[in-house]
Chain A
Amino acid sequence: MGYERERFFMDVLNNLVLGFSVALTPINILYCFLGVLAGTIIGILPGIGPVSGIAMLIPFSFGMNPTSAIIMMAGIYYGAMYGGSTTSILINMPGESASVMTCIDGYQLARKGRAGAALGMAAFASFIAGTFSVVGLMVLSPPLAKFALRFGPPEYFALAFLGLTAISSLGGSSLLKGLISGVFGMMIAMIGTDPISGASRFCYGIQDLIDGLSFISVSVGLFAIGEVMETVEGSLSVSHFKSKLSGLLPDIDDWRASKGALVRGSIIGFIVGVLPGAGATIASMLAYAVEKRISKHPEKFGTGIIEGVAAPEGANNSATGGALVPLLTLGIPGGAATAVMLGGLMIHGLRPGPLLFKQHGDFVWGLIASMYIGNIMLLILNLPLVRVFASILRIPRFILLPMVVVFSALGVYSVNNSLGEVYVMFIFGIIGYFMRKLDFPAAPVVLAIVLTPLMERTLRQSLMMSRMDLTIFFTRPVSCVLMTAALLSLFYPLLRYLWSNRDYLRKRKMNKNRGKL
C-alpha cells in the first residue's frame, strides 16, 4: 500500500515537471497572461460574465495549438473570479454572478473605508483557494480518469444525462424552466447530420445547417448579445466609487478572522465545483452560508466583516479548479463555462476524456501547471494594479456595449467566414434576451448542445446493445448510480416542496376529511 502511494506521488511529481516544461514555454506564458488579463477585465465589467468572455475569445484561439487554447480559456475562467470581486467591493455590483455574495460584506467594508483590505483579502483568498483547487485537481484527476477508461456507452449516457439534469435542476430558480431550457437545447442540437445514420435532420436544404448550428454562434448569442440587450435597457450611467484605496494588505487581525473561512471556503468550493450542475456561484453562496451558521457572531455578517469576503471569494475560485476535473477526466462539463471550453476544444479537434488524459499528458499537465503560474500572475495583477483595473469601470456603457456587439459579430464571422453564423448569433441573442427576462436559464441550453451528440450516440448504442431494454442503465453498477443521482436531481425539488409544505398539505387533507364528515 505504502509503495503504491509512493508511486502515485512520484507519478504526480513527474507529470508536474512535464506540465511545467509545457507551461513555461514563452508562448504559453504569454497566452496564460492574456487569459488571466482578459479574465480580470471581463470579471470587472458588469454585464459580461466568464461564459460570454470565453465564448467571445474562442475565435482568437484558432491559430494556437490546443494546449495554448485551453490555457488561455481556463485563465479567463479563473481570472474572472478575481476581477468579479473588485466591482462587488467598490460599487456593490457583482462583475459576474459568482461574486454576488462578496457584495454583502465587501461593500460594507468599503463604506467603512476598508476597501483596500477587502480587495486585498479577496485577492489572497482567490490565490490560496485557487492554488488549493489546482492541487485537488492534480490529485483527484488521474485516478478518476483511470476509472473512466472502463466506461461503455451506458455509463457515458448516464454521465451526460446526470450533467444535464443536474444543471437544469440546480441552475435556475425553477426546475421546470431549467428542464425546458435543457430540452430546448437538445432539440436545437438535433439540427444537422445524424451521428449514426448520417441522415440530415431539420436542414431543409440549407447548406449552413448540415454541420448543425455552430456552437460558438449559439453561445455568443445567448450569453454576450443577450447580456448586452439586458444591460442596455437599463440606465447607462456609470457608478463611481468614492472610497479611497489604501492599505491593500489585510492586517494580522484580518488574517486571524479569515483563516477558518479560507480553509472551509476552499474545500466547499472544490467539492461543489466537481459536482455536476452547481458551479462557482452556488459554491460561494454555500460557503457564505456555512460561515454564517458556524460563526460565533452570525449577526455581524452583512455589516462588513472580513471573513464574509474571504469565504465566498475562496469558494468561487476553488470551484473553477474543481469544475475542470469532470471536464478533463470524463469529457463531461459540469456548467456553462466548462461547456463553452469543451466546445472550443472540439473545434480544435480535441475531445477531452480519459483517453486524452492518458495519451496527452502534456495537454492536461500543461494546463494544470499553467494554473499555478496564472494564479501567481493574478495575485500580482490584482494587488498593486487594482486601481488601474478599477478605472475600467469608468468606461461609459454607451461605448462599451456597441464594442461588445461588434467584437462578438466579427469573432463569430471569423470562425468559418460565414455571415449565416452571425445571423444565428443574432437570432439567439434575441432568444437569450427573452430567456433572461422570463427567468429561463441559458446554461442548460449550452450544455445540451455540447452533450447531445454524445448522449444520442450512447443512448442509441446502449439500446441497441440491450435490444431496446431500458434496464441496461440500471443493471450496470456505475451507470445505475449515475442514473439514480440524475433521477434524484430531477425529483429532489418536488420532494423538497412536498416536505416543506407537509404541514400545510396535512392540514388541507384533514380539512377535506372533516368536510366529508
Chain B
Amino acid sequence: MIRAVAARTSAATLLLPIVAVVLALATTALLLLLAGADPLRALSDMWTSSFGSTFALGTTIVKALPRLFTGLAVALALRAGLWNIGAEGQLYVGAVAATGVALYVTGLPETIAPGVILLAAAAAGAAWAWLPGVLKAHRGISEVITSLMLVYIGIQLASYVATGPWSTPGATFPASNPVPSSARLPILGTGTSVHAGLIVAILVALLVWVLLDRTSFGVRLRAVGGNVRAANALGLSAPRLMILAMCLSGALAGIAGGVEVLGSRGRLIEGFSPGYGFEGIAVALLGRLRVGGIVAAALLFGALDAGGAGLQASGTGLSAAVVQVTGALAVTYLLAALGLSEIVTRRSKAKAALANADHTAAREQPSHGTDVATPTASTDVGQKGTKT
C-alpha cells in the first residue's frame, strides 16, 4: 500500500506531480483570463514576487517552512495508516505554547531559549494529537472526525489567549504581546526575511527521513499502516505505535506553529494560519509522501503564497485566493492522474492475462486459473481505502 509508493522510484513518481502542477498553473491562467485579467502578466507578477529576486526567494522559503512541517506531519501519520486531518489545530496549540513559554518563562539562557520553546510547541502539538490517537487506537473512533474538531478548539484557544490574557488591554491589533527578542529565531542574512527556522526545518526534515526510511521504527510504522492485524501478529503493539505516530505527527505540526511565532511573526496573531495544516495534506500527497518530495511541494506552496501576495499587491484587482485554487487543483490533477494510470495498468494486465488464456485454450490444455481475477494490490495512497 503506502509502502509501495514510498519504495518505488520511477519516472512516473517524479513526472506525474510535475505534470499536475503545470496543468494547475495552466488552469489558473484560464481562470484569470475568465476573470478579465491578463493571465501572462498575472503569472509574471507571481513569478517576480516568488522567485524573481533574492528577497522574493527568501519570502518563498519563509512561507514554505510551515507547510514543510505540516506536510511531514501528515506524511508521518500516513505511514502508520492514520489521517492526521487536524494538523491545523496542532499548529495553533504549538503556537500558543511557544508564545506562553516565550512570554512567561523567564531566565532561559539566550543560547537555548528558542530550542526550549520549540520543544514546548512540539509537546503541545503532540498532546493535541494524542487524544485522536488514543480514541482511534482504543475506541475505534475515526481520527478524521476527532482531529478535525480539535482544529477548531485549537483555533479558538489561540484567539482567546492572543486577544485576552496575553495581550495589552486596548490593543487595536488582535494579537498577543510580542515575544522577547532573545526568544526569536534570528534572521540569517541581510536582504531577506529568512530566519533560523530554515535550519530547524532542515534538521527536522533530515530527522524524519532517517526515522522513516532508515530505522526499524519506520518499518514498524509501515507494518501498522499496512495491516494492523499482521502487525499485531508480528508482536508489534499496534495501538501503541498508532498513538506514538499521532503524537510525533502532532509534534511536527506544533513546531510549525512555534517557528511561525518565533520566526516570522514574533507574536501570536489571531487566525494567523491561512490553513497551513490543511495544506500540509496537499503537500504530503504532492510530495508522494517522501521527504524530498515534500520539501519540493512545500516550496511550491510557499512560492504560490508569495506569488499570490504579489498578485494582490500588483493593483490589478485580483484576489490572492486564486493561488489556493492552483494548489488544490495541482493535487486534484495528481489524484486523477494516479487513478487513470492505475486503471490503465489494470486494463492492460487484464488484457495480457486474457490473451494468455486464449493462447492456452487454443493449445487445448487444461486452463489453469488466470490472473484476471487477482486483485491488483492497491499501490498508492491515492487509492488507499480508509475506514473511518
A and B: interacting chains: no
Which residues of chain B have a CB within 8 Å of any CB of chain A?
A: none
